[in-house]
Structure 1
Amino acid sequence: MILKTTIDRIMEATDIVEVIGEFVNLKKRGANFVGLSPFVNERTPSFTVSPAKGIFKDFSSGKGGSAVTFLMELEKFTYPEALKWLAKKYSIEVEETIDAPEDREADNRRESLMIVSGYAAKFFHESLLDTDEGKSIGLSYFKERGFSNDTIKKFELGYSPDQWEAFTGQAIKQGYQEEFLTESGLSVKRDNGTLYDRYRGRVMFPIHNFTGRVIAFGGRTLKSDKNVPKYVNSPESEIYHKSNVLYGLYFAKKAIRDEDNCYLVEGYADVISVHQAGIENVVASSGTSLTVEQVRLIGRLTKNITILYDGDAAGIKASLRGLDIILEEGLNVKVVLFPDGHDPDSYVRLMGTAGFKKHIEDNKKDFILYKANLLLKEAGNDPIKKSEVIRDIVESIAKIPDSIKASVFIKECSSILKIDERALLTELNKMRQAKAKKDGQQYSGGREMITPVDDYPVVEDYVQEPTETYSQEKEIVRVLLLYGNKMIDWDGIANTYIGPFMIAELGDVDFEHPTIKTFIELYGKEVENGVLPEDQYFIHQQDKEIVDLAVTQIATRYTLSENWYEMHKILVNDEQDNMKGTVLGAIFHLKMHKVGKMLDNLRDELQKATSDEDQDILLTQYMRMKKVEKTISDYLGSVIIK
């Protein structure tokens, strides 16, 4: 368990905008920052970060909390893992009450796979740098590719010895479990149950996740045997899904945000060479077809992708249709080709940084226009092929969600394809109508059922209990969080704070919602200890439901402009102007509701009572509660109105 003093130091050092900014492209808006939700696919920003409050709130998914909560939600970290990630980022030494046997085993399966992958990366890296075989084979290869020592260390490149059990034997000796060695793909099980190394005799490219932890490997053979596959990659596992990963993204994410552009290449060496040349906003799909998940990863950081192709025309044509998913996600795509025989790796080594950048600037073309020119050239004078090309191009334009941008491309393509703009618009509208019909219809028993399509659902917090009681209990939480540490300045009440006053007034109230009940108990205990708990105390709780409750009550999607009154001459009432009404209103509206429910119960019991004695007792209780109701009602009227 991490010591509370260490947790406090981590929380104090953490800049929530800086942390979330590593994963989401944030733009300043007033006192807050906004961006696209990393949890759902959206085109209008609903994700808000408040540096003053130290919280984020995603109004599309309903998620919210601190920097710790964000890491837990996005990267599926445990609470200690998130704290350790932040501690590493801010160079804080983690003190724990007991030693965590992290290099042997972990409390959960996912962490165990992470740990064994991290150990493997260290083993391969040391084999490359510290063994004769690694230096003469692996290191020599990397040096021939022009990789510097700093680059080799930065990307944690390695070498797997050309022996059957060099890694596996050492890992088992160090206490790593066989099930995690095989599940991660580092080791393979023979028919007799023994294990051997998957990557023997290969140079190793570790694959990092968004937070920098090694989750998989690509191993390249240096042998010329055609029967030996050139690359062997990690199999899918609980921590590695290749469709959700881009090679080099961990090292590129800051540069992608800063440059507002992402260079997309094909292989590991392309990424490393271009990165080493000082062009760090580069990632690779690692030889796989680009997936929508990978596009969305980039889309969190920038809306601009530049694809750097080698000179293989056949390969380019094959990949064109797959790139429509980039358009569909609302990103801008440009294409750059390199001379025949060159890929980004070889060309940057040949031309250097300046020459490489100049080639990109001089040769980048918009994807739609490039595709139109390429396919039209291939179709020649064949009218059938030309009509297919036109339909193909319009299909791509139909994927673009921005109608203004789509109309610009229609105009440009009309000129290139030498076809009337109205004909292209007609075809575009047909395709869009067909898509809308397909997306907006479900079929059941041969009947057509029209259902509304909503790309941006808003998830209400605690929708499972939308009762009046719950709403009033939430109001108590809101007032405590916002004003609990403010001094009371009312007639007849002085020298006390709103928080302790409310807790004392609510001592006779039984809260129904379990999370709110826990919140009130936590608040009360802190007050008993002489502490006035502020919002940060609840935002940094381990209990996720408490965090969600606190964030939901203090986060707001909209803020009033500082120039509102000057612009509109409309005065908006501030609840702080009548703090007595705000606090007592929250308390007594809840009490009034509780009394109303008690009166309902007493009426039910009166109807069911069979003896005169029971009826008299219940009637006395009922009349007493009616007096309480009248007192609260009179008090509410005088406090709220004035």
Structure 2
Amino acid sequence: MISRITIDKIFETARVEEVIGDFVQLKKSGTNYKGLSPFTDERSPSFMVSPVKQIWKDFSSGKGGTVVSFLMEHEHFTYPEAIKFLAKKYGIEIEETEQTSEDKEQANERESLYLVSEFAKEYFHTTLLKTEEGKAIGLSYFKERGFTDETIKKFDLGYSPDSWDAFTSHAIKKGYKLEFLEKTGLSIVKEEKQFDRFKGRVMFPIVSMSGRTLGFGGRILTSDKKAAKYLNSPESDIYHKSKVLYGIFHAKQSIAKEDNCYLVEGYTDVIQFHQTGIHNVVSSSGTALTSEQIRLVNRLTKNITVLFDGDTAGLRASLRGIDLILEQGMNVKICTFPEGEDPDSFSRKNSLEELTLYLEENAKDFITFKASLLAKDAKNDPIKKSETIHDMVNSIAKIPDVIKREVYIKECSRIMDISEQVLFNTLAQVLRKEQKDASKRAEVPQEAFEVISSEKKIEKVDVQFQLEQKIIQLLLLYGDVEEDFEELIMETDEKGEIILKPEIHKSRVFEKIYLDLQEDEIEFMNPEFKDLYFEVVNRFNQNPEAKAETFVTELNPEMASAVTNFLMEEERYSLSDWERKEIYVKKKELTIAQMVSETILNLRRHLVSQKISELSEVMKQEDNPEKESGLQEIVDYISLKKVLSNKLNRVL
């Protein structure tokens, strides 16, 4: 168990904007930060982070909470793992008991896979540095590639012994289950035998954006033509190669800082760039680029530079990935290295200054690059030139931004010496075809339609739910605020008629709400709101000046998420940036007392209306012996409702 003192220290030290900033590119928006949702595929920001409240809210998926809940949602950490991650990030000492084999067995399956992968990473790294075989074969290979000891340690490079079951046997002896060794793909199980998948290979651990070990890439060092040169972990519950970029953990901060990401092909390309001094680089690990991988980069920057070696044949195949990047609304540049060179070899032969200068001078805009590449083939052949232009227009059609499309059309017209009008007409045809194809895919077969009534059923609004929700929100947002409340006291005038006499009382919002609801013996109907109401009121009673965001860290994850929804509701409107459109919204802080009084009166009136309806139903029963007294009770409630309505009109 982690002590409460340690947890409190972590919450006091950790900055939600810093931690989330490692995973999402955040931009200042007033007192808050906004960015693209890391949980959904979107192009307009709906993700908000509040440094003042130290919470976050994703309006597209509905998720929200503290810095810990973000790590639990985004990285699938357990609560203790999220706490440990933050402790490590901020250099906070944490006390914990060593995990026993029983604890390992009790961990859920995903966590077991993470534990096994982490153990394997340490095993391969230790084998590389501490065993004779590892040093003679694995370490000498990395040294030949020019990797320093610091680089080898930074990327946790390793070596798997050239023995059938060296790793598997060692892992089982240490208490790790064969079931999880098989599910991660580290071990292959056939009948009664098991052996190591990565036997005799140098190892490249593949880690998530937060540094969790997901899988491995292994390179064979022998000239065995039957074995694959590179071998990756198979798909598992924790490793999905289409959603992972090699090097993203070490590159994320640099990508956000430089506002650009270099995309290369192999593991050694990434490592060599890092060693030279360029850190904003990731790799698709030899797989075809996917939308999910591009979205990982898109959270950190809108700019991506794709680096290719001088192999022209490979270039054409890779150009398909460019269209995927354009579809995400990103800015793409392409840089090629001299023939026979790749990012790994070129960075080895050049200093940081030379490499940086080369990248700056040779990175071309995608349209310029594509035109020069395809034009080589076309030469004086009109048909091939026509195909090249069509290819370029198809790529431009992928860009969602209308202005960018027009700019690229003009550039394409200049480069290919063809009229803009023809290109715009071709673009329009391509876009129409794409829309038509999309419509066809979305069409539902005729027989799937059901006959439905023409009378549309209107969903009834749950008034009590909304009013209870509003009271919780007022408590959380303004519970500690002291306000002047106008109390309307019922008195009888000289003629015997009821009048409302105003009296001003100063009190905190939470006191006003609590005393008013207690006076009328009003209880919440929604069980979640009821629990949250008493939790919040109790905390304010203990410390009247407490802020809701300070005790959100002590609530259970479900309650904390609900509290965040209320606390961040106001931030939803800042996403629209109304003031830029010269629409000025009245701040709620200016009318807190009015909102509180209005909400309580509305709840009272609603409950009285409910009581009138209930009594009216009882009065409809013919054999009701208390009909006369019941009718009088209805009359009294109607009078009370009228008084409440008058009070409410006065408040409004």
Q: Same fold (TM over 0.5)?
A: yes
Name the residue aligned to 2:638: 626
Whole-angstrom CA distance in 2 between matches of 1:564 and 1:522: 37
Segment of structure 1 superposing worse, 319-328 or 377-386 = 377-386
Aligned to 2:573, what secondary structure does the other structure show? coil
Alignment of 1:558 onto 2:573: yes
User: CA shift at 1:267, angstroms?
Assistant: 0.4
Whole-angstrom CA distance in 1 between matches of 2:619 and 2:290: 67
Whole-angstrom CA distance in 1 between matches of 2:131 and 2:633: 87
User: CA shift at 1:75, angstroms?
Assistant: 1.8
Q: Kindly provide the amino acid, as one letter, of the partner of residue 615 in structure 1.
A: K
Q: Deviations over 1:248-277 (max 9, x none)?
A: 000000110111110111100000000111
User: CA shift at 1:619, angstroms?
Assistant: 3.0
Name the residue aligned to 2:416: 417
Do the aligned residues in 1 keep the contact of 2:45 with 2:575 (CA within 8 Å)? no
User: CA shift at 1:17, angstroms?
Assistant: 0.8
Name the residue aligned to 1:311: 310
Whole-angstrom CA distance in 2 between matches of 1:316 and 1:295: 18
User: CA shift at 1:579, angstroms?
Assistant: 4.1
Whole-angstrom CA distance in 1 between matches of 2:578 and 2:40: 33
Do the aligned residues in 1 keep the contact of 2:371 with 2:392 (CA within 8 Å)? yes
Name the residue aligned to 1:387: 386
Q: Deviations over 1:477-509 (max 9, x none)?
A: 111012211235447676853213322322322
Name the residue aligned to 2:76: 76
Name the residue aligned to 2:431: 432
Whole-angstrom CA distance in 2 between matches of 1:577 and 1:305: 46
Name the residue aligned to 1:239: 238
- Cα gap change, 1:259 to 1:448, in 2 (>3 Å): farther
Name the residue aligned to 1:121: 121
Q: Deviations over 1:417-453 (max 9, x none)?
A: 222221111000111122223334533346999xxxx
Name the residue aligned to 2:264: 265
Aligned to 2:262, what secondary structure does the other structure show? strand
Query: Number of residue pairs matched?
Result: 621
Name the residue aligned to 1:331: 330
Write out aligned runs for 1:172-571 (5 A).
172-192=172-192, 194-440=193-439, 442-445=442-445, 467-490=462-485, 497-507=508-518, 508-527=521-540, 529=542, 534-537=547-550, 539-540=552-553, 543-555=556-568, 556=570, 557-559=572-574
User: CA shift at 1:573, angstroms?
Assistant: 5.1
Do the aligned residues in 2 keep the contact of 1:397 with 1:406 (CA within 8 Å)? yes
Whole-angstrom CA distance in 2 between matches of 1:558 and 1:216: 41
Aligned to 1:217, what secondary structure does the other structure show? strand
Aligned to 2:474, what secondary structure does the other structure show? helix
User: CA shift at 1:304, angstroms?
Assistant: 0.9
Whole-angstrom CA distance in 1 between matches of 2:35 and 2:166: 47
Give the percent of matched residue pairs that are identical in Structure 1 and Structure 2. 48
Q: Kindly provide the amino acid, as one letter, of the partner of residue 85 in structure 1.
A: F
Structure 2 stretches of 5 or more lacking a match?
Answer: 450-458, 487-502
- Cα gap change, 1:249 to 1:482, in 2 (>3 Å): same
Name the residue aligned to 1:12: 12
- Cα gap change, 1:577 to 1:390, in 2 (>3 Å): closer
User: CA shift at 1:95, angstroms?
Assistant: 3.8
Alignment of 1:48 onto 2:27: no
Aligned to 1:196, what secondary structure does the other structure show? strand
Do the aligned residues in 2 keep the contact of 1:538 with 1:547 (CA within 8 Å)? no
Q: Deviations over 1:20-75 (max 9, x none)?
A: 11011111122111212212222222222111111222222222222122222222
Do the aligned residues in 1 keep the contact of 2:485 with 2:506 (CA within 8 Å)? no
Do the aligned residues in 2 keep the contact of 1:538 with 1:546 (CA within 8 Å)? no
User: CA shift at 1:238, angstroms?
Assistant: 0.5
Q: Deviations over 1:269-319 (max 9, x none)?
A: 000000111100000000000000001111111111111111111111111
Query: Which stretches of structure 1, 4 residues or longer, exceed 6 Å deviation after superposition?
Result: 560-565
User: CA shift at 1:529, angstroms?
Assistant: 5.0
User: CA shift at 1:78, angstroms?
Assistant: 2.7
User: CA shift at 1:561, angstroms?
Assistant: 13
Whole-angstrom CA distance in 2 between matches of 1:572 and 1:325: 40
Q: Kindly provide the amino acid, as one letter, of the partner of residue 600 in structure 1.
A: S
Q: Deviations over 1:330-368 (max 9, x none)?
A: 111111111121111111111222221222122111122
Q: Deviations over 1:104-126 (max 9, x none)?
A: 34521111111110010001111
- Cα gap change, 1:498 to 1:178, in 2 (>3 Å): same
Q: Kindly provide the amino acid, as one letter, of the partner of residue 468 in structure 2.
A: E
Write out aligned runs for 1:64-143 (5 A).
64-95=64-95, 100-101=99-100, 104-143=104-143
Whole-angstrom CA distance in 2 between matches of 1:600 and 1:187: 69
User: CA shift at 1:516, angstroms?
Assistant: 1.4
Segment of structure 1 superposing worse, 103-112 or 304-313 = 103-112
Do the aligned residues in 2 keep the contact of 1:526 with 1:532 (CA within 8 Å)? no
Whole-angstrom CA distance in 1 between matches of 2:85 and 2:420: 54
User: CA shift at 1:373, angstroms?
Assistant: 1.7
Do the aligned residues in 1 keep the contact of 2:22 with 2:252 (CA within 8 Å)? yes
RMSD: 2.7
- Cα gap change, 1:11 to 1:369, in 2 (>3 Å): same
Q: Kindly provide the amino acid, as one letter, of the partner of residue 487 in structure 1.
A: E
Q: TM-score, normalised by structure 1?
A: 0.91
User: CA shift at 1:12, angstroms?
Assistant: 0.6
Segment of structure 1 superposing worse, 390-399 or 487-496 = 487-496
Name the residue aligned to 1:595: 608
- Cα gap change, 1:489 to 1:32, in 2 (>3 Å): same
Whole-angstrom CA distance in 1 between matches of 2:586 and 2:367: 52
Aligned to 1:42, what secondary structure does the other structure show? coil
Alignment of 1:613 onto 2:612: no
Aligned to 2:473, what secondary structure does the other structure show? helix
